[in-house]
Structure 1
Amino acid sequence: MNDFFLRFIDFLSKFDNTALFAASIIPYSIFLYFLYKIKSINKLIKTGFSLTVLFVFITIVISIYSLSYLNLTLVEVDVLHGSAEFFLTLSDAVILVGFIKMFKVIR
């Protein structure tokens, strides 16, 4: 494998992504703002993309709980990690159902 690529991967592994994770709410909020302005997209799709914000919030809360009370990261506690990921699955399912409904209307 290319030496540059390996060095780049090594650099990324040492990068603290907390600030990037926190800053990502800004472009996602802009995305949601413009998504809600589009009249041709049904409410279910908009709700699903909004539920993604709930997933992020739930993940943060469960991560804090895991670190504070169990002294483990979220990925080390399968039940908590699965519970947090459930909200992502829920939002994805709502988005999918919204697109299925939207395409059925178009046909």
Structure 2
Amino acid sequence: MLSKDTLFAVSLFPYLGFLWFLTRSGQMPRLALIGFYGTLVFVAVTIPAGIYAKVVYGEALANIDWLHGGAEVFLTLANILVVLGFRQAVIEKQSSQQ
């Protein structure tokens, strides 16, 4: 059975493929696409934060609230961009049909 760390690392490859296809399709709302890429920023921040939590506090990232919350801000921002991007696309589609 794969460890959670190995599964996390391996899961990046399908996500990168997903981003590649989204980008090449040209059909994704730009703001939503930026949000999906923002998820990579979350990953890039979470990995060193997890290492810091382990080295400095001897704990998992999830157990250090201020550090975990700081990392989660990046995921929240990415999700907001995805939602706003799709919202904008729906509004534009609705206005073009009237």
State the aligned residue count.
94
Structure with more contact order per residue of length (Cα contacts < 8 Å, sep ≥ 6)? 2
Stretches of structure 1 that go unaligned for 5 or more consecutive residues are 1-11
Report how far residue 40 of structure 1 moved: 2.4
User: 4+ residue runs of structure 1 moved beyond 2 angstroms?
Assistant: none
Aligned to 1:36: 23
Sequence identity (%): 35
Aligned to 2:8: 21
Backbone CA RMSD of aligned residues: 1.3
TM-score (norm 1): 0.82
Which has the higher Rg, Structure 1 or Structure 2? 1
CA distance in 2, matches of 1:40, 1:16: 36
Report how far residue 16 of structure 1 moved: 2.0
1:102 aligns with 2:76: no
Code of the residue aligned with 2:22 in structure 1: it is L
Give the alignment of 1:1-107 within 5 angstroms.
Answer: 16-107=3-94
Code of the residue aligned with 1:102 in structure 2: it is A
Stretches of structure 2 that go unaligned for 5 or more consecutive residues are none
CA distance in 1, matches of 2:28, 2:61: 35
